[in-house]
Structure 1
């Protein structure tokens, strides 16, 4: 059975059991501040488990894209070394929200595995929670009794809290679980050692495939458990592991989930991957296997993250995606000898494999391919730079052990991996101070943890029931009651309080728009609301102080100046999106945005710089729609399919419900939950202030509207007045500037000619100062020239012979520069390299540089170090 058929069989089975089939949520989470990525099937349903929202069905089934590379669930370093851990994987799941429980869930699982998929019952083991006296949670007698109907007692394992009690996090819904494991060993291996002894023992052929979690409790902030008002079922089955069992192989990588990707890597590199079925392979082949497994696993995670809107970057979720991709690149670089980008070529295979079920990977194929290719090229350049820096570290090392702190600096600053450093050192007969590296790593992690440490109290419920609603589209002021409060203490923000009210007019941060600010006013006090966020379907009002009387009636008032400014910028992004698609083409898609009261930022897909003329067309297009005074046409709660059919733009990576809100200004129609102007005339004016690249194929425009445009033009007028004053108030300022530029260009040419003459005149004097060291003509001297003049002089002196080693220093305007010229014959015969010379000497002037083997330069900021640098130059000839 092919993997696509396995997925379909699962969904068809649970649909036949009355489950609603829902699509996978995006792998990148945008509305849950507690998680970067969807790391389990239940993440998109948290609000239902918490009782903050009502599901559209009490029975749901799906397959969810998951990513486990950060936080509590982090499998990254295991990937490649074993055959069953992955960064991205699919989690097949069936869910019951207050409907069925253990006596239905466990028979469902057994029926599907043994009757639909026909797995060998004798190879299956199940586990149940043994209980925990300290938690006052008893042995799961009910699950044990249910399993006894299907499984012999010797194949029912009692599991401890670590293995058989599932928790969403440090706080929140949790409960005992019952896992199903499969033993894929040979018959002789099974006869020799019981599979029961290998369950949860990290055996590569005795693996968990399905976990049935019974959500019965809520974990409170103090660690205690309380019963949930309703019981839920949360199950998750690893799709890749299930395919391994169905396809009768002993490695996930031997299934058709991965074999097409592996075959593509083999074709690109000319190397072979060895199936897990082959035993006693060489150490070299094992390294190749690990590298290929890392690459084919990681490209899936990176590709789907990019398709869902998360570009690689230096912070947050983007940094995690970049780190995954760089791990794949360095394994290829080190073990497959790939020195050019190649991973991007796997995206086409992935799109062909998974595009039918996950259309985002097909529609975003070009973008994903280009981003990965650019990231590969960039990191390969970084690796090359790191190799040069590592050479410097090695040259400074006086023993056979290289400082772990220095190696960590290479890792932390340049992304140069520790294992590659250790490998290169071993080849040079050196060792890495691993303890020092690990200490530096732990210190950095401790600093990072301290900076992001957050402690959250339990909610204090003031009004029972799910009574919270958002009224902010229609009201900016509302009579409210506080329904719940919570204290949050973080290193970053200090102590804050989160308040939930019954009828909130405050818009929570989302869709790129910042959260509202404002006040809660009672008869006796005013509480400042400094931000509004959303978490698990609750609108959280953030404040630095709680009201003295929490039960008092309040009036919630949104800061209208800030909201109006944000609304103008948000509506302008919609108009600009349409403008870009009109001017540049319909390939343009929104890839991110930020809307606040001050300005707007809009990221979009486009593979070339936007020209000044195109930017002007975009600006004119938006301003024309502002002048047309287009009214807002807002439609709420319309079916998603109908909205898209009518022309509404839906963004990849966004999670939409069955019904949506559509915002229309003229021909611009988008699905959006943000705040907008009632008429485009309110925007007043639109001005683009910058355009540039964010990543390969992604451009960014920053723009302003309304009062910010007025201020912009006022500043421009002021700047023009200052320029005219400095030019002595000419009648035509532009003509005066052009004349000044022309005069400057003439003077520059004259100066360059004079400096060339000066260099030629100096040639004879300096030739007399050349000395011979070990058969090489040597000169190291500071000269009164600019860097370009020093280069001309170096080439002039180079004509005097074929064995010249020359270092010239300049210090124009206190900016030191070193220039090194080495005759090409010396480069070959004496193994001298001008680039390496200036990198070493550049340290004396607190700088660095590079160039070609026969000529290179290094700039710095410490002219006092020139003398020492020139003296050190002699050492290269000793």
Structure 2
């Protein structure tokens, strides 16, 4: 049974059980600050489990793209080495929100596996929670009794808290779970050792395929459990593992989920992959297999993350995506011998394979390919730089063991992987101190943990029920009551309080727009609101202190100056998006944005630099829309299909409900939850400040509106006045500046000519100072030249000498530089190396450098050390 048919069979089955089938949420989470990525099927439904929202149906089923590479659920380092862990995987799930419970969930799971898919019942084992008296959670007798209807008791395993009690996190909904495991070993292996003994023992052929979680409790901040008001079912079945069972193979990578990708890697590299049935493979083949598994797994994670809007970067979620891709690149580099970008070629295979069910990977195929190709090229250059740095470290090492601190520096600063370092050092006959490396790594992790450490109290509910609403589209001020509060203590921000209001006018951060600031005012006090965010359908107002009387009535007042400036920038973003599509082409799509009171930032897909003329056209087009005084047309809560039929743009990577809000200014029509001006005339004017590349195929424009434009032009006016004053107030400023540039160019040529003549004169003077030491013509001296002059002089002197060892020192603007020239004959005959010389002598000027064996330079910051550096140079030829 093909993977696409298995997915369809699952969704059709639960549709027949009155479940609403919903699409996968984006793999990148944008409205849940507690999670970086969607790491489980239930993540998009958290607000329903928490009681902060109402689902479209009490029964839902889907297949969810998941990514487990950070935090509590982190499988990254296992990927490739075994046959069943993945970074990105699909989680088939069915959900009950206060509807059915254990009886139906377990019965349907068994029915689907044994009657629809017809898996062998004799290969299946189930587990139930054994109970936890310490937390007053009993043995799950109900699940045990249900399972006895389907399997013999010797196939029911009692599981502990680690294996059979599922928790969303340190706090929140949780409950006992009942897993289904399958034994895929041969009959002989099964007869020798019971599958029961191998459940939850990390055996590659005895694996969990389905987990039925029964959400009954809420974990509080103090660790205690309380009963939830309603009971829910949260199930998850690993799609890749199910395919392994259905396709009669013993590795996820031998299923048709991965075999097309593996075939493409083999075709590109010329290296064969051996499937899991082949035994006794060589160590070399095993390394190739691991590398190929890493690559085909990681390309899925990276490709879908990019398609959903998360570009590789140096921070946050983008750093995680970059790290995954770089892991794949270095496995290819190290074990497959790939020195050129090639992983990007797998995107086409992936799009053809999964595009029907996940259309985003098909529509974003070109963008994803370009971004991955650029990232590959960049990291391969980094690897080459790392090799040079490693050569330097080896050259500076006495003995055969390299410092673990140095290896960690290569890893931490330059992204050079530890295992690749070890491999290269081994080839050179070296090793490194792993204890020192691990010590430095642990220090880094401790710093990271400390920086991100957050303690969150339980909610203190003042007014019960789902009474919280947002009124900020129509009001910037409103009478409110506080419905709940909690304290959050973090290393980064200190102690803050999160306040929820019954009817808030504060806009929570979202859609690229920053959250509102303002005040809560009562008869006796004023509390400053420093930020507003949304978490699991709750609008959280952040304050550094709580009101003395939290039960009082308040007036919530948005800072309207900030709100107004932000709304101008947000509306201008929409107008610019339309202008870019009109001028550059309809391939332009928003890939990220930031809208705050000071400026707007807009990332978009485009495969070349936007020319100055095109930027002028975009500016002009936006300002035409501003001058046209277009009135805001706002459509609230209209069906999404109706909005799309009206021409609204929907962005990939965004999660939309059945009803949406559409913002329309003339021809600009977008789905958007943000705050906007009532009329484009309110924007006043639009000015682009900068344009540049963010990643391959992604450009970024930063722009300003309103008062910021006025300040910009005022600053330009002042700058022009200052220039005129410096130039003695000429009538034609441009002509005067051009004349200055012309004079400057002439003077530069004259100076260059003078330096060359000075170097020629020095050549004769220095030639007479050359000494012969151990058969080597030696000279180490300071000269009054710049770096280029020193280089020219060194080559001039070297032309007539076959055994010259020369060190020249220069000092310009108090910055010293050493230039070393070694005749090529000396390099070969005596093993002298100019690069090693300047690295060693550079220490005296508190600097460093490098170059080739016959010519190298080193810069520093301690000119007082020049004399000693020149004195030490003779040691190399003595």
If the length of structure 1 is used for normalisation, what is the TM-score? 0.98
Contact 1:647 1:669 (C-alpha < 8 Å) held by counterparts = yes
Q: Residue 877 and residue 580 in structure 1: after superposition, are their counterparts in 2 closer, same or farther (change >3 A)?
A: farther
Corresponding position of 1:477: 477
User: What does 1:125-136 align with in structure 2 at a 5 Å threshold?
Assistant: 125-136=125-136
What displacement does 1:768 show? 2.2
Q: How does 1:161-176 map to 2 (within 5 A)?
A: 161-176=161-176
In the superposition, relative to structure 1, how do residues 446 and 726 fare at CA in structure 2: closer, same or farther (>3 Å)?
same
Q: Which residue of 1 aligns with 2:707?
A: 707
Question: Counterpart in 1 of 2:216?
Answer: 216
Cα distance change of structure 1 residues 753 and 376 upon mapping to structure 2, 3 Å threshold: same
In structure 2, relative to structure 1, the CA distance for the partners of 1:865 and 1:370 (3 Å cut) is farther
1:852 offset after TM fit, Å? 4.9
Match of residue 534 from structure 2: 534
The SS at the match of 1:298 is helix
In the alignment of these two chains, the number of paired residues is 878
Give ranges in structure 1 of 5+ residues lacking alignment.
none
Give 1:356 deviation, angstroms.
1.0
Q: Name the CA distance, whole Å, in 2 between partners of 1:255 and 1:850.
A: 50
Question: Against the structure 1 CA distance between its residues 875 and 139, is the aligned structure 2 distance closer, same or farther, given a 3 Å change threshold?
Answer: farther
Q: So what's the TM-score if we normalise by structure 2? A: 0.98
Query: What is the SS of the residue equivalent to 2:741?
Result: helix
Contact kept, 8 Å, 2:83 with 2:252, in 1: the verdict is yes
**For residues 708-739 of structure 1, what are the alpha-carbon distances to aligned partners after superposition, in whole Å with 9 as ceiling and x for unaligned?**
11111111111111112222222222221111
Q: How does 1:132-531 map to 2 (within 5 A)?
A: 132-531=132-531
Q: Is the 8 A contact 1:94 1:235 kept in 2?
A: yes
Q: CA deviation at 1:474?
A: 0.9
Give, in whole Å, the separation in 2 of the partners of 1:368 and 1:692: 19
Do the aligned partners of residues 72 and 485 (structure 1) sit closer, same or farther apart at CA in structure 2, a change above 3 Å counting?
same
Secondary structure in 2 matching 1:57 = coil
Distance 1:295 1:173 in 2: 36
Aligned to 2:752: 752
CA distance in 1, matches of 2:257, 2:875: 58
Q: 1:118 — aligned with what?
A: 118
Between the aligned partners of 2:873 and 2:362, the Cα distance in structure 1 is 57
CA distance in 1, matches of 2:875, 2:87: 50
| 3-state SS of paired residue (2:424) | helix
Q: Contact 2:827/2:853 (CA < 8 Å) preserved in 1? A: yes
Structure 1 Cα separation of the partners of residues 604 and 472 of structure 2? 29
How far apart, CA to CA, are the structure 1 residues paired with 2:271 and 2:860?
Answer: 45
Q: Which moved more, 1:440-449 or 1:807-816?
A: 807-816
Change (3 A) 1:833 1:256: farther
Are 2:395 and 2:836, in contact at CA under 8 Å, matched by a contact in 1? no
Deviation at 1:839, TM superposition (A): 4.5
Alignment of 1:518-667 (within 5 A): 518-667=518-667
Deviations 1:92-115 (A, max 9, x none): 000000010000000111111111
CA distance in 2 between partners of 1:675 and 1:227 (Å): 39
How big is the shift at 1:665? 0.8
Whole-Å separation in 2 of the counterparts to 1:390 and 1:220: 50
SS at match of 1:790: helix
CA distance in 2, matches of 1:658, 1:54: 13
Q: 1:681-720: per-residue Cα shift (whole Å, max 9, x none)?
A: 0010111111111111111111111001111111111111
3-state SS of 2:369 partner: helix
Contact 2:841 2:873 in 1 (8 A): yes
Judged with a 3 Å threshold, the aligned counterparts in structure 2 of structure 1 residues 116 and 318 are, in CA distance, closer, same or farther, namely same
Which aligned pairs between 1:47-126 and structure 2 lie closer than 5 A?
47-126=47-126
Alignment CA distance shift 1:415-1:876 (3 Å): farther
Secondary structure of 1:204's aligned partner:
coil
Displacement of 1:802 after TM fit? 3.7
Residue-by-residue CA offset, 1:255-313 (whole Å, 9 max, x unaligned): 11111111111111111111111111111111111111111111111111111111111
The Cα shift of 1:835 comes to 4.7
Q: Does the residue aligned with 1:495 lie in a helix, a strand or coil?
A: strand
Q: 1:846 to 1:589 in 2, by over 3 A?
A: farther
Q: Displacement, 1:856?
A: 3.8
Q: For residue 698 of structure 2, what is the aligned residue in structure 1? A: 698
- Secondary structure of 2:509's match? coil
Q: CA deviation at 1:862?
A: 2.7
Question: What is residue 27 of structure 2 aligned with on the other side?
Answer: 27
Match of 1:3 in 2: 3
Distance 1:852 1:390, change over 3 A: closer
Match of 2:792 in 1: 792
Unaligned runs of 5+ in 2: none
CA–CA distance in structure 2, aligned partners of residues 735 and 523 of structure 1: 65
Deviation at 1:604, TM superposition (A): 1.1
Residues 392 and 840 in structure 1, CA contact (< 8 A), matched pair in contact too:
no
Give the whole-Å Cα distance in 1 for the aligned partners of 2:774 and 2:44.
73
SS class of match (1:784): coil
Separation (CA, whole Å) in 1 of partners of 2:572 and 2:599: 10
- State the alpha-carbon separation in 1 of the partners of residues 361 and 871 from structure 2: 59
Which stretch of structure 1 is more off in the superposition, 30-39 or 269-278? Answer: 269-278
* Secondary structure, aligned partner of 1:134: helix
Helix, strand or coil: the match of 2:42? Answer: helix
Change (3 A) 1:347 1:834: farther
Look up the SS of the partner of 1:228 in the other structure. Answer: strand
Match of 1:177, SS state, is strand
> How big is the shift at 1:11?
0.7
Matched-pair contact (CA < 8 Å) for 1:254–1:276: yes
